[in-house]
Amino acid sequence: MTNRYTATAKGLHWLMAILLFGLIGLGFYMHDLPLSPTKLQLYSWHKWAGVTAFLLVWLRLFWRVTHRPPELPASMPKLMQLAAHAGHLMLYLLMLAIPLSGWLMSSAKGFQTVWFGVLPIPDLLAKNKELGDLLQTVHMSLNLLFVAVIAGHIGAALKHHFIDKDDILTRMLPKHAKEN
């Protein structure tokens, strides 16, 4: 077994990281804007990117199930290994729950998502203002939790690199050598 991720796993990881940072930034930026054509356009872009992220996370999960990730170092304490696995599980759950909560919120608020302005995504709920407002709170809360989990993920990777001096970070970094 290799101690590095495949090129596909790395590509999906970094593509998702860029997409998710953009989604989070755009979401916080547009939230308090006054209603305008610009705000509506930003919401459309946010929803398009959210649907794309939702689809990509399924692809990422498929890849992870069919291509085992490298083992954690044997020198890592079992409690830390458990924490690493729990952190990754939380990231994946949030990458599924956040776009789903956004989709439910849009449905309940009566705003259908039309992916890239072409493909209508069916509403999951009937229009319901109170439920839409509740789902907005859920969506925002999940995003705040996601930011905290991402901060922990980045912090752990940096700790491994600079303090533990192991290969946890470098095995996910892009390499010039040909990989799977």
Q: At 121, which CATH number?
A: 1.20.950
Q: 48 is in which domain, residue-wise?
A: 7-172
Look at residue 179 and tell me if it is in a domain: no
Look at residue 104 and tell me if it is in a domain: yes
* Per-position pLDDT tens, the chain of length 180: 578 899 999 999 999 999 999 999 999 999 999 999 999 999 999 999 999 999 999 999 999 999 999 999 988 999 999 999 999 999 999 999 999 999 999 999 999 999 999 999 999 999 999 999 999 999 999 999 999 999 999 999 999 999 999 999 999 998 744 444
Amino acid, single-letter form, for residue 172: M
Q: Using CB atoms within 10 A of its CB, is residue 38 exposed (0-12), middle (13-18) or buried (19+)?
A: exposed
Q: What angle do CA 92, 18, 30 make, to 5 degrees?
A: 95
Number of domains into which the chain is organized? 1
Look at residue 64 and tell me if it is in a domain: yes
CA distances to 7, 8, 9, 63, 160 from 176, rounded to whole Å, are 10, 13, 15, 21, 22
pTM here is: 0.93
Look at residue 178 and tell me if it is in a domain: no
